[in-house]
Structure 1
Amino acid sequence: MNLLEGAIDIHVHSSPSIFPRSVDDFQLAEQAKAAGMRAIVLKAHEESTVSRAKLVSKIVQGIEVYGSLVLNEYVGGLNPYAVDLAIQQGAKLIWMPTGSARNHIEYYQGQSDYKEQRSTVRLLPQKGITIFDENGKLLPVVYDIIDLIKESDVCLATGHLSPRETKVLVQTAAERGLGKILVAHPDLKINKMELSLQCELVALGAYVEKSMLTLMPKWKSIEPEELVQGIRQLGVERCILQTDFGQANHPTPTVGYQKFIELLLEYGLEEKEIHRMACQNPAILLGLST
């Protein structure tokens, strides 16, 4: 059986990038296609990947390639103009800040970089973006961004915000009727949150990522047994498998996805459960048929 048949990687990195990558956009698409995957979503911390995805789609036939936007300082931070344009151009996911998030910078003791794999370019110092004002209330621009995403029926993803910020963001987005909300790798040490909070967010209608990256040596944040137990408690109906791969010191994303599924099967998940999390759930967020 081909474990990747029809699978979608909703969170994957490739070059060009400010970080060393194992594959470029075209190689990633070709490898995913050869593995029988249905779709990939390109993610870059420094720019919109929508135009890149369109170019790849013209060259590599037989797999769907989509772009996304991360609201880091490099695109103006919490910038509704960037959000609006990316959506109109075809972005499927709008991510809250990652390396520019205050929570990320505090975790790395003042750095917007990653100690696990350094950027290949100089990064200017950043104060760090938070979605709260000085009184702990959501900034008005966050409501604007939520509404733009809702009106376009694309997906809001939480990025590297703190657990508290993530909770308020998901609550607010759900209250405003946004139907596609993705909690980014809540097991990863940068923005790690308790399983009880993950359950709260799922109850509000959010999906949560379960990531191969969280099991890798330099990024190790959780044991496989605990990850599978979390999936069981959250329910496969609300979990989405992804690799978050592309780092130059890891297997290529397609190989990583294969190993991830093999590991989950080894720890007791069933093929039908894998199919739900790897194929059906991400298709829902991308607006594809299931």
Structure 2
Amino acid sequence: MTTDQSDIDIKKSFGAERDAKIAGLLKGAVDLHCHSGPAAMPRILDHHEATMDAEEAGFRALVFKDHYYVGMSHSAMIEKLMPGLQVKLYSGVALNNPSGGINPHAVDHAIKTGGQIVWMPTLAAKNHIEQSAKATKNFPASKKPMLKAEPLTVLDEAGKLTDATLKILDLIAEADIILAGGHLHVSEQGILFDEAIRRGVKKMLVNHPTYVVEYSDEDIRSFAALGVHMEHSICMFVEGRGYKHDGARLKQLIELAGIEKTLLCSDLGLTGSPRPVEGYRRIVNTLIEQGFDDGQIRALTGGNAIKLLPVDG
């Protein structure tokens, strides 16, 4: 770990009274976007360490996300090896090239092994590849060179959803799990979510609408009105390599969709940024500074997310 990474990873103090308040507000938090390892991407912690951090902080649930493999087996084994664990562990499938792309069989397998979320293509999305090619700052890369991604889209040449995509939507609807837009462009996600609603999908999520997928403020407002949740990545709002927006912008984004349709999830684990739980501590402090009350903060950091998972009690 470099000095820069160590500095970022140190727990930041906001004063004893504020630290205690933050700790209390994080009881029951839910992270739907934890990028712990092992992974092809460089990570600052593994799934076991992420679990221990979340357990200590009193989180209610944690979702392991990897761009290239499903994590349900990791979740199951950690829970078995740590009896009495209070935080519930979940994962899902990201439909990138290693999973066969827009592959109903990968989705069916994920569902049958307990997967709770399907991320549409992320790093292999045609939109992501195009955005990366024109970016002035390099996107996160794997530790070792990988085969060049084959660009993926949910649309055919006529601009219609592919048959494989429609099958996946039916599988998601039947299993009542989460459909996440991944790194598809907003123009693709609009078509995708409209059809998902028609086919009975009830749990829908836009990942980091201000990053890569190019949602406008009006897009955020209109998609939320349809019932789609906006998941803002904490990494975009706290110190580290993903930082892009300040607290005032976060408040504006929350107001666009409404608190009930907004989730704050870490998207943390990459080197050069805080660990996920530390990211939550910092974003809660930001929310306090921006005038959100305790109930609103609890909804944004866990109360809304938990409704998308099969957690009892």
TM-score interval, smaller chain: over 0.9
Q: Does 1:98 align with 2:141?
A: no
**Equivalent position SS for 1:40:** strand
Q: Does 1:155 align with 2:178?
A: yes
Query: Which residue matches 1:184?
Result: 207
Number of aligned positions between the proteins: 287
**CA shift for structure 1 position 137:** 1.0
Q: Aligned partners of 1:210 and 1:110: how far apart in 2?
A: 23
The within-5 A match list for 1:274-285 is 274-285=297-308
Query: Which residue matches 1:131?
Result: 154
Q: Which runs of 5+ in 2 are unaligned?
A: 1-20
Q: Does 1:59 align with 2:78?
A: no
Q: Which runs of 5+ in 1 are unaligned?
A: none
Query: Do 2:26 and 2:58's aligned partners in 1 also have CA atoms closer than 8 Å?
Result: yes
Paired amino acid for 2:231: E
Paired amino acid for 2:216: E
Larger of the two Rg values belongs to structure: 2
Paired amino acid for 1:214: M
TM-score by length of 1: 0.95
Query: Do 1:100 and 1:129's aligned partners in 2 also have CA atoms closer than 8 Å?
Result: yes
**Larger RCO (CA under 8 A, 6+ residues apart):** 2
**CA shift for structure 1 position 98:** 0.3
**Equivalent position SS for 1:191:** coil
Among 6, 11, 17, the residue aligned to 2:39: 17
Distance 1:218 1:26, change over 3 A: closer
Query: Do 1:116 and 1:219's aligned partners in 2 also have CA atoms closer than 8 Å?
Result: no
Query: Do 1:236 and 1:277's aligned partners in 2 also have CA atoms closer than 8 Å?
Result: yes
Q: Aligned partners of 2:87 and 2:151: how far apart in 1?
A: 36
Query: Residues 240-259 of structure 1, C-alpha deviation per residue, up to 9 Å, x if partnerless?
Result: 11010001211111111111
**Equivalent position SS for 1:218:** coil
Paired amino acid for 2:118: I
Q: Aligned partners of 1:102 and 1:172: how far apart in 2?
A: 20
The within-5 A match list for 1:94-243 is 94-109=118-133, 115-188=138-211, 190-215=212-237, 216-243=239-266
Paired amino acid for 2:34: V
Q: Aligned partners of 2:105 and 2:134: how far apart in 1?
A: 28
Query: Do 1:283 and 1:289's aligned partners in 2 also have CA atoms closer than 8 Å?
Result: no
Paired amino acid for 2:51: A
Q: Aligned partners of 2:254 and 2:215: how far apart in 1?
A: 14
Structure 1 vs Structure 2 CA RMSD:
1.6
Paired amino acid for 2:50: L
Which segment drifts farther, 261-270 or 42-51?
A: 261-270
Query: Residues 130-167 of structure 1, C-alpha deviation per residue, up to 9 Å, x if partnerless?
Result: 11111111111111000001100111111000010111
Which segment drifts farther, 41-50 or 259-268?
A: 259-268
**CA shift for structure 1 position 199:** 1.3
Q: Aligned partners of 2:123 and 2:96: how far apart in 1?
A: 7
Paired amino acid for 1:228: K
Paired amino acid for 1:192: E
Query: Residues 87-107 of structure 1, C-alpha deviation per residue, up to 9 Å, x if partnerless?
Result: 110011110000000000001
Q: Aligned partners of 2:139 and 2:190: how far apart in 1?
A: 27
**Equivalent position SS for 2:124:** coil
**What is the aligned-residue identity percentage?**
34
Query: Do 2:220 and 2:230's aligned partners in 1 also have CA atoms closer than 8 Å?
Result: yes
**CA shift for structure 1 position 110:** 8.2
Q: Aligned partners of 2:289 and 2:312: how far apart in 1?
A: 29
Query: Do 1:187 and 1:222's aligned partners in 2 also have CA atoms closer than 8 Å?
Result: no
**CA shift for structure 1 position 116:** 4.2
Query: Residues 158-206 of structure 1, C-alpha deviation per residue, up to 9 Å, x if partnerless?
Result: 1000010111111111121111111111022x12310111111111111
Q: Aligned partners of 1:3 and 1:30: how far apart in 2?
A: 18
Q: Does 1:86 align with 2:110?
A: yes
